[in-house]
Structure 1
Amino acid sequence: MTATPARLRRLMNLWPTFRCAGIRVVHIADDWSSATVRLKLGVLNRNAFGTAFGGSLSAMTDPFFALLALHQLGRGYIVWDKAAEIEFVSPGRGTLTSTMTLPPEEAEQIRAATKNGDKFLKWYDTTIVDADGRLVARVRRQVYVRRRKRADA
């Protein structure tokens, strides 16, 4: 958890899963409240119809709500991406962008909801748009959070 947002962004851009899919993390806010990711359509991420492969669209958003929560909450929490839904609205062509946001107030709500050891489950929504701002997909990610027990801290 010692990674800064800039360092995590650089490391994620080296990650083969993102590199091979044409995904690039372009920004992570200094306060861990948002992350912006781009996908450039290329030979390795096109489907049979010449548009963005749905798995790449889903991968664009995969770790970010959980990462934003984890870094805002700190080491005393277990955070993971529990479920996902994606609705494909229009064909993805060119450069696609998604911004995931988890405001600091949300982290405070998570702390309050988990203070007695309860788990926290919440769906977070984002969109994927093309360079003209046209909606390509709606994405929902469910994040699971609970406080660490002393033994697994």
Structure 2
Amino acid sequence: MYKVYKPSIVKFALNLWPPFWGAGIKIVTISDDFRFVRIKLKLRWWNKNANRTQYGGSIFSLTDPVYSLMLMGILGREYFVWDKQANINFIKPGDSDLTADFVISEQCIEEIKRVTKSGDKYFPSFTVNVLNCRGELVSQVERTLYVRKKPEYRMESNAIS
């Protein structure tokens, strides 16, 4: 499968992207196959809330484009991939730097390809845990994506099937 971007380029670009950089969000790791990403959110004076803990918007932002970009890297140019919906559950205050690990399994990729091969829309849902420096759960974010084969690739899939 042709990769849209190299993981190292995506990591470099996102770490310079003002919404991430300004919020203290840093991509620590992107696997070569885009199936694993680790992100860190530093606790800085400018991203603290009134209670002197991580601002909830920053916690939510650290999860924003990640699953979409991972699927774009995995599926390539044949697919539309967008964030569709998200929900955050704040469990406890983020009183330290935070980390989140994003994982997309082979089973998930196979399911996406199976459902979308003739042009159907698919809405995979992913849950990411955001942890503090002690490994305690601070929040859970559920993200639902929109995935669909682009029209010019739907015919090709139908001809092969």
| Contact kept in structure 2, 1:72 and 1:104, CA below 8 Å | no
Equivalent pairs, count? 151
Measure the CA separation in 2 of the matches of 1:12 and 1:52.
20
Is the strand fraction higher in 1 or 2? 1
1:37 corresponds in structure 2 to: 39
The within-5 A match list for 1:2-41 is 2-41=4-43
How far does residue 6 in structure 1 lie from its aligned partner after superposition?
A: 1.3
Counterpart of 1:92 in structure 2 is 94
Larger Rg: 2
Local SS of the residue matching 2:100: strand
Shift of 1:4: 1.0
Within 5 Å, give how 1:3-152 maps onto structure 2: 3-150=5-152
Residues 22 and 44 in structure 1, CA contact (< 8 A), matched pair in contact too:
no
In structure 1, stretches of 5+ residues that fail to align are: none
TM-score, structure 2 normalization = 0.90
Q: Distance in 1 between matches of 2:138 and 2:122?
A: 29
Return the alpha-carbon distance in structure 2 between the equivalents of residues 59 and 150 of structure 1.
33
How many Å separate the matches in 2 of 1:71 and 1:125?
19
Task: Please tell me whether the aligned partners of residues 4 and 76 of structure 2 are also in contact (alpha carbons under 8 angstroms).
Answer: no
Unaligned runs of at least 5 residues, structure 2: 154-161
Cα distance in structure 2, aligned partners of 1:29 and 1:54:
27
CA RMSD of aligned residues (A): 1.2
| Inter-partner Cα distance in structure 2 for 1:44 and 1:9 | 23
Identity of aligned residues (%): 38
* Offset at residue 3 of structure 1 (A): 2.2
Give 1:2 deviation, angstroms. Answer: 4.0
2:9 and 2:111 mapped to 1: Cα distance? 27
